A and B are shown apart, each in its own frame.
Chain A
Amino acid sequence: MRRRWALVMTVVTVAAGLSACGDSGSSDGKTIKVAYQKFGNFIGADELFKKIKPVFEQQNPGVKLKLIPIEADENSYYTKLGLMRRSKATAPDVAYEDTFFVNSDAQARFLMPLDDKLASWPDWNQFVSAAKAAGKAGDGHTYGVPMGTDTRGLWYNKKIFAKAGLPADWQPKSWNDLLTAARQIKAKVPGVIPLNVYAGKGVGEAASMQGFEMLLYGTGDKLYDDQTKKWVAPSRGMNDAMNFLKTVYSEKLGPTPQQALDPHWSDNVSGQELSQGKLAIDLDGSWLPQAWIPGGASAWPDWSKTLGTAPMPTQNGQAPGKVSLSGGWLLSVGANTKNPDAAWKLVQLAMNKENSLFFYIKGTQVSVRNDVTADPEYLKGNPTQKFWTSLVQYTQYRPAYSVYPQISNQLQAATEAVVTGQAAPEKAVADLAGQIKQLAGPDKVEGTS
């Protein structure tokens, strides 16, 4: 009796084990899988694909669209997407792809070149050239259609400016103008943080991109030289950018180091500091209203009356006078898709004029399509959208190489050392240059100072 039981249990367990194994890998070309991020405030992509799913399935009889929303923050999204792509059975046919992963994902042969398909797509002429270039990898092929972008610049509180005796249409022309305004606010409006520039590892990429790189790219120096194909470190610009950070934090024009290093600081800036009138000037991005619009995480109906916008000036006002950096996302087709035509049709449908407009508004994106930019519907509801879109012609993209996340991490650590006073700016830059040499390889780095 006991032995029979043992036998039965054995059979049951084996059967359960086998059936669990048999379920994977049902990719037959009849199902198009699209993977995208859905997290916190960001539900634009989810809404877009839910909207077009019935349309796509009607236009392509016999093909099903399977939505794979990945609920993860940005960094974990890249990780999960990368892990999905390690197996052909789980690799998505179409994916929401960060522009700065294009090079490394193309090298990994995760992506399909779209050059021929784009050449015969009439809509492609509507895309602005900076955005077209964002989907182009170092090998000259284009691997994705841009889904909009973001730009970076200054937000400022007009009510605090009035108290400090600063103009409501403030437009700084150099770093000095910026510091002068901050000092004036510190003197006349106590209890307010005059100027927020992100720094330190707590806020992650915000410290690299909204903080250090927005300064560096205004000095004339860059992080990566596209001509020589080398990283540039150390440089005079790096020293100047670090010295600017030191000035802001040591003169107490910025947040305290404890505030700045809190991992939740960037959420606090949009959710509390700006909306409660505790922060005067914020070097930040175009997407902030996403939190303030009705239904956002911290709705603030009066935001557009209280806040003004200004471009971030270059160091001494040198041409072109304005700095902006951009990120942005693409729709890419997987290299191993069984049905490339259907996948491409999905990309075309998702990024046509109507659906681009829908996504720009839902995702607080800056338009990269000329026909959408000209559409009155696009500017309705967000009065600053015109300003942020005007920065697209000045904007630059980050170096899109797989070592960038590690270099960015070192940038964050270096800014942290400077704002906490642990290292002098020149020492922090020298250490940073050493780290970049180690990460990228000594022959891939050139110093200019």
Chain B
Amino acid sequence: MVAVDLPESTRPAARRSPARGRRAAGRVLPLVPAFALIALFFLGPILWCVYASFTDVALTGATASTPHLVGLRNYRRMFSDPAFGQSLWLTVVFVLGSAVIGQNVGGMALALLMKSRHRIARAVVGAIVVGAWVMPELVAGFVWYAFLADDGTFNAILHAVGLHGKSWLYAMPLVSVIIANVWRGTAFSMLVYSAALSNVPEDLLEAAAVDGASSYRRLRHITLPLMRRAVMTNLMTITLQTLAVFTLIFVMTGGGPGTKTQTLPIYMYQSAFKFYQLGYGAALAIVLLAVGGVFSVVYLRMMREEV
């Protein structure tokens, strides 16, 4: 997770004194075990992963017990592998479609629509949307598989009103998983934007309304600029979450049919645990980490710019 400093962070400058130093030590000490555990179970695997990505370590075969350092071979192989290029592209489409556009716009729309509605309407809509979000990813995957399968609920509904169904997961697999992920993740954006909207001063909007600004212009020139930090924070969070989505796709399509929904996490799983190429899988993990890093840097830069 990347720390985001909030606008109201106006900490008083620390004064140096021995008493403060002791108190600081007293505060840091209880954190030591937590940091040790993070180092052991979080930093350790990442470092191992970096190391493994430069070796030919495998799960079986001669290199399982005696791996060799192979330099950049895994990375060279990756960039000459058409399956990798396709996976990267699918990952970008999946992230743009389901997070940056779907969840982000959907969450904003829901938050705006719910803003000045009746308390009961807000509670009902909020409960339904958040219900999809609290559902475990595995369950959400099954729900969508059952909904879109050949003899699933969606086709049954279509037949009931006299329309012809389709093999949705076969005919349009990427669209299916994108919709499922929007359905699942929109609640998070909605919660973030609802909170941010309540911080937009009401008198500012009223003043603009008195000056004759239309509701679109008020949204465009007052509400959105004031919410910019929340938008960027939200975008970064949902982008990183969506980059790592594995279970939902794995349950719904298994990365198929063919390789039509084989995003980077699925491709990585397949390389490391289905074809036993742990080294290559580790290299893919590093690239996935780098893709997430690039997105984070872009968002952080956009956040730093002044309005």
Please list the residues of chain A having a beta carbon within 8 angstroms of any beta carbon in chain B.
3, 6-7, 9-10, 13-14, 17, 75-76, 78-79, 82-83, 85-86, 101, 104-105, 107-110, 200-202, 258, 261-263, 402, 405-406, 409, 413, 416
Contacts and interface: CB of A to CB of B under 8 A. Distances in A.
Contact of A261 (B33, B36, B58, B170): B170
A263 B65 contact: no
B240 to A, nearest CB: 26
B274 interface: yes
B258 A82 contact: no
8 shortest A-B CB distances, which residue pairs? A108-B64, A82-B59, A402-B61, A13-B33, A107-B62, A104-B61, A104-B60, A6-B30
A159 B40 CA distance: 64
B60 A110 contact: yes
Contact of B61 (A76, A107, A258): A107
B147 interface: no
A405 B37 CA distance: 37
A17 B61 CA distance: 35
B61 A108 contact: yes
A329 B59 CA distance: 19
A10 B33 contact: yes
B167 interface: yes
Interface residues of B, number: 28
Nearest to B32: A10
A13 to B, nearest CB: 4
A431 B133 CA distance: 43
Interface in B26-80: 26-27, 29-30, 32-34, 36-37, 58-65
B89 interface: no
B258 A413 contact: yes
A79 B256 CA distance: 21
A83 B257 contact: no
B275 interface: yes
A85 B61 CA distance: 12
B167 to A, nearest CB: 5
B37 A17 contact: yes
B276 interface: yes
B292 interface: no
Interface of B: 26-27, 29-30, 32-34, 36-37, 58-65, 150, 167, 170, 254, 256-258, 273-276
A201 B61 contact: no
Most chain B Cβ neighbours within 10 Å, of A101, A107, A263, A416: A107
A55 B287 CA distance: 53
29 contacts: A3-B26, A7-B29, A10-B30, A13-B33, A14-B33, A17-B36, A17-B37, A75-B274, A78-B59, A78-B60, A78-B276, A79-B274, A79-B276, A82-B59, A82-B64, A86-B64, A104-B60, A105-B60, A107-B62, A108-B62, A108-B64, A110-B64, A200-B257, A201-B258, A202-B257, A258-B170, A261-B257, A409-B275, A413-B258
Given A104-B64, A402-B58, A402-B60, 10 more contacts: A107-B60, A110-B64, A200-B257, A201-B256, A201-B257, A201-B258, A261-B257, A402-B61, A409-B275, A416-B258
Contact of B60 (A9, A108, A261): A108
Contacts of A109: 65
A101 B60 contact: yes
Contacts of B62: 107-108
B276 A202 contact: no
Most chain A Cβ neighbours within 10 Å, of B34, B64, B170: B64
Contacts of B59: 78-79, 82-83, 86
A258 B170 CA distance: 7
B176 to A, nearest CB: 14
A413 B262 CA distance: 14
A258 B34 CA distance: 51
Contacts of A3: 26
Contacts of A75: 274
Contacts of B275: 405-406, 409
A10 B60 CA distance: 42
B85 to A, nearest CB: 15
B81 to A, nearest CB: 9
Contacts of B65: 108-110
Contacts of A200: 257
A258 B150 contact: yes
A402 B33 contact: no
B64 A261 contact: no
Nearest to A257: B170
Contacts of A10: 29-30, 32-33
A280 to B, nearest CB: 22
B155 to A, nearest CB: 12
A429 B26 CA distance: 70
A13 B34 contact: yes
Nearest to B31: A10
A274 to B, nearest CB: 19
A249 to B, nearest CB: 15
A409 B274 CA distance: 10
Contacts of A416: 257-258
A258 B169 CA distance: 10
Contacts of B150: 258, 262
A14 B35 CA distance: 11
A104 B60 CA distance: 6
A254 B142 CA distance: 29
A182 B85 CA distance: 42
A232 B194 CA distance: 63
Contacts of B27: 6
Contacts of A413: 258
A273 to B, nearest CB: 14
B247 to A, nearest CB: 14
B273 A79 contact: yes
A200 to B, nearest CB: 8
A202 B29 contact: no
B64 A263 contact: no
Contact of B276 (A17, A263, A405): A405
A263 B254 contact: yes
A88 to B, nearest CB: 11
Contacts of B29: 6-7, 10
Contacts of A258: 150, 167, 170
A82 B60 contact: yes
A51 B167 CA distance: 46
Contacts of A263: 254, 256
Contacts of A83: 59
A405 B274 contact: yes
